[in-house]
Structure 1
């Protein structure tokens, strides 16, 4: 039964993420990037290495819910098997990962104990080492918003589907790893050319092409929806639709949080999710120009059938709250388990500290680095609050498929 439309979730929590990823975002001036945009993406990967470890060296390993991690891992398996070995991922790990997936699918009624044993049997943990002692963890979520199928009343902000002339320069799973140049272009009779920027699109560059799939009532909500990459929309007729990322205009993501701070428009020590939202909504014209600093613009598709059960990650499988992790695919193959140790991240767990086996199932334009991760916190207001205050140091232990058979060592 359709009930009243829920109150819009304030997704200004995403602003916190915009601020914390500032170190990885390019500084831009109004309407144009301040750094040259190469039409061909250039992948820059600072040096990092993987050092073999033991499960006993993973802080809190034996206390984790390995069955929950196994269920998230299995979400990826059918997709990985369908994709085949290919050439994706560093060191061609996908073929070995597919073999582990096949073994996981044969498990009968796994328990927390047997799931733990499975990971210990089939994988070897590797500590991620680079020039810094820790990496950085942020969070993301699926906002819940109000919307309309047609422009009416307060619903005047269009959400666009993927244009037919948009072409990929790189695979979607590699868009963050190769985001130094244009990742998408517009196909023309003469070849290809850059797609319109956010500013150009919002000033009518796509108007009249029939690309609008629904309308929101707040341009700030629409902007943060682009940052999150998915959303659940409560429609005026009482129905609910789920929309998901389906391409972008190709430009690198730029943090408006950093723009505000670096241009003395907002004090760094006052930056918060609530304050960012208030600042943007206080002056719509000012907010528009600031949001145009991020030339990147996202296109969406409406999910149908089983796909609509939850937001989909870059791997094309439903994300699992608290277990799905967005990573940099320049370093890590999608589908790999990654044990995350972040003792200072205490707001996301009941027992204090975040020590959890997660699965690399997504990417993000701001997620760049060997030990850079984005935790999926779920849907709705509470998830948004958790995501918005997540900016914590952490360490990764990547689980690489082990030679099989393997003699299992005690993990402690």
Structure 2
């Protein structure tokens, strides 16, 4: 993941999380945010309002009650929030993710040979079989857990990495799947493994390069995917309208280029987050912390949602940038956090 399994089933725990741990908290001024005045604050406010109702703490709940009454979105943020830079000593790293759109079938046959599964009972209790063990033993076959069959094992793998996707079925219909669970093993990057082996360099590694390498290397390509022991299971979420994004960790649709995955240990889910990237993307915009990811760990670590489909995937796969992100907190919360209260 890019980003990584979106644990909607853990949303209640994440919603209660706040900044903790060995991190520094510095209050900034809005004038310190590069490009703040030029952003579309109304668009960001609309996205914020969609999940604001789920924030139950008094300082957030009171603020959310008035959010829809404001015509001047920029003024709303400036009057009710303070920017807080949270740092844990690790340099900022932005990556990006997307929602794949794949071809599949409800039935196995012909080109449709690679299943995605719903969660088995054994995986509900903690650590279960690794990816290699699940696939080598065919451990899930014939148990009625198959949701759909895809045409490509690499597509099935990256669907797990992204954690959600749309599948266009051979009968002309479509389904959407979201994160349903996992086998309890930690995510390990196959991109980093290819760099370690000297097959790719850190400047050229992206989803398309990894995909090509796996397809071109047969059994060795399959073995590379097994380097990642984490295995993700799915659930159907086809009730989510086609014109909306996939569900994030708050169990609500996320929005392209306005939703971001964060580490909820440091950043409250639902909070506005200002980002400044210093790479090719050069993004300066207000995002909302809507999601999480297994590889998104740290106060200055984030994953930007780029949207649905192959074009979004190509763009997302190139993102590996520095910069900084600043969390917007309600005023009293901001000063209490900075003082360690």
TM-score, normalization: structure 1? Answer: 0.72
Does the C-alpha gap of structure 1 residues 332 and 285 become closer, same or farther in structure 2, counting only changes over 3 Å? Answer: same
SS of corresponding position for 1:72 = helix
Does the C-alpha gap of structure 1 residues 165 and 100 become closer, same or farther in structure 2, counting only changes over 3 Å? Answer: farther
- The alignment covers a number of residue pairs equal to 317
Aligned to 1:202: 135
SS of corresponding position for 2:110 = coil
Aligned: 1:98 with 2:32: no
Aligned to 1:332: 267
Which one of 168, 191, 210 corresponds to residue 234 of structure 1?
168
Aligned: 1:317 with 2:274: no
Q: Distance in 2 between matches of 1:252 and 1:307?
A: 32
Q: Deviations over 1:9-56 (max 9, x none)?
A: xxxxx7xx58xx9xxxxxxxxxxxxxxxxxxxxxxx873211011111
Kindly state the Cα deviation for residue 268 of structure 1 after the two structures are TM-superposed. Answer: 4.4
Preserved CA contact (<8 Å) 1:343 1:355: no
Which one of 273, 278, 303 corresponds to residue 237 of structure 2?
303
Aligned: 1:127 with 2:85: yes
SS of corresponding position for 1:75 = helix
Q: Distance in 1 between matches of 2:257 and 2:155?
A: 23
Aligned to 2:276: 341
Preserved CA contact (<8 Å) 2:208 2:314: no
SS of corresponding position for 1:124 = strand
Aligned to 1:73: 48
Preserved CA contact (<8 Å) 1:128 1:395: no
Which one of 76, 89, 93 corresponds to residue 136 of structure 1?
93
Does the C-alpha gap of structure 1 residues 268 and 391 become closer, same or farther in structure 2, counting only changes over 3 Å? Answer: closer
Matches within 5 A, 1:173-192: 185=126
Q: Distance in 1 between matches of 2:157 and 2:204?
A: 21
**Unpaired runs of at least 5, structure 1:** 1-13, 22-44, 86-93, 168-183, 186-193, 347-352, 405-412
SS of corresponding position for 1:375 = strand
Preserved CA contact (<8 Å) 2:245 2:307: no
Aligned to 2:17: none
Kindly state the Cα deviation for residue 152 of structure 1 after the two structures are TM-superposed. Answer: 1.3
Does the C-alpha gap of structure 1 residues 273 and 166 become closer, same or farther in structure 2, counting only changes over 3 Å? Answer: closer
Does the C-alpha gap of structure 1 residues 216 and 162 become closer, same or farther in structure 2, counting only changes over 3 Å? Answer: same
Aligned to 2:115: 158
Aligned to 1:216: 150
Does the C-alpha gap of structure 1 residues 268 and 375 become closer, same or farther in structure 2, counting only changes over 3 Å? Answer: closer
SS of corresponding position for 1:403 = helix
Aligned to 1:116: 74
Kindly state the Cα deviation for residue 219 of structure 1 after the two structures are TM-superposed. Answer: 0.5
Please give the root-mean-square deviation of Cα atoms over the aligned residues, in Å.
Answer: 2.2
Does the C-alpha gap of structure 1 residues 403 and 275 become closer, same or farther in structure 2, counting only changes over 3 Å? Answer: closer
Preserved CA contact (<8 Å) 1:46 1:369: no
Which one of 186, 194, 204 corresponds to residue 260 of structure 1?
194
Aligned to 1:398: 327
Matches within 5 A, 1:259-298: 259-268=193-202, 270-298=204-232
Which one of 91, 103, 106 corresponds to residue 146 of structure 1?
103
TM-score, normalization: structure 2? Answer: 0.87
**Unpaired runs of at least 5, structure 2:** 5-19, 334-341
Aligned to 2:317: 388
Kindly state the Cα deviation for residue 297 of structure 1 after the two structures are TM-superposed. Answer: 0.6
Matches within 5 A, 1:35-74: 47-74=22-49
Preserved CA contact (<8 Å) 2:245 2:256: no
Preserved CA contact (<8 Å) 2:177 2:238: no
